[in-house]
Amino acid sequence: MSTISDEELLAYADEQLQTELSTQIEKTLRHEQTERERLRNLLEHRDQGNLGVGDIWRHERLSCPQRSELGLFLINALDVQQQNYITFHLQQVGCSYCQAILEEMQSTSTLEEAGQLTKKRRQHLFASSAGLLRKSD
């Protein structure tokens, strides 16, 4: 009897599960043909847009933002929609996985990513002031 939920199977297919669970599901799929068929059916249904709101909600719950997105979130560099989604994911869904990543980032790589962004802004700024200079001569 299977203990894997449809949502977990889909999350597995999307590579959104933590390693431990993902390995476990992979093992099950390798041994159980019925599970493989279930996953195939699920994916087909999803591709046809047959998932109900509840399914999408449950699926969304499992959808963790990319690490890079979390980094941008920290420095407020995402568009409002993404920013809201991640806020929702962290606060309403309360995803402890992403919270842990965020905490780790706050202490280390955020600074680096922010630095890269600043560099981009500076390049942009340089480009526009070069334009201004050209106009004024």
Q: What are phi and psi of 3, to 5 degrees?
A: -110, 5
What does the per-residue mask of binding to Zn ion show for 36-75, with x meaning CB under 5 A? ----------------------------x-----------
Cβ 97 to Zn ion shortest distance, Å: 5
Cβ 65 to Zn ion shortest distance, Å: 7
Q: Which residues contact 2 (CB under 8 A, 6 or more apart)?
A: 28, 32, 34, 35, 38
According to the binding rule CB under 5 A, does residue 98 interact with Zn ion? yes
Helix (H) or strand (E) holding 117: helix 109-136
> Do 88 and 79 touch, CB atoms closer than 8 A?
no
User: What is the crossing angle of helices 109-136 and 67-74, to 10°?
Assistant: 70
Write out the two tokens for 36.
């493989």
According to the binding rule CB under 5 A, does residue 102 interact with Zn ion? no
According to the binding rule CB under 5 A, does residue 11 interact with Zn ion? no
Task: Identify the residue among 42, 78, 95, 102 touching Zn ion (CB under 5 A).
Answer: 95
Cβ 98 to Zn ion shortest distance, Å: 3
Binding site for Zn ion (CB under 5 A): 64, 95, 97-98
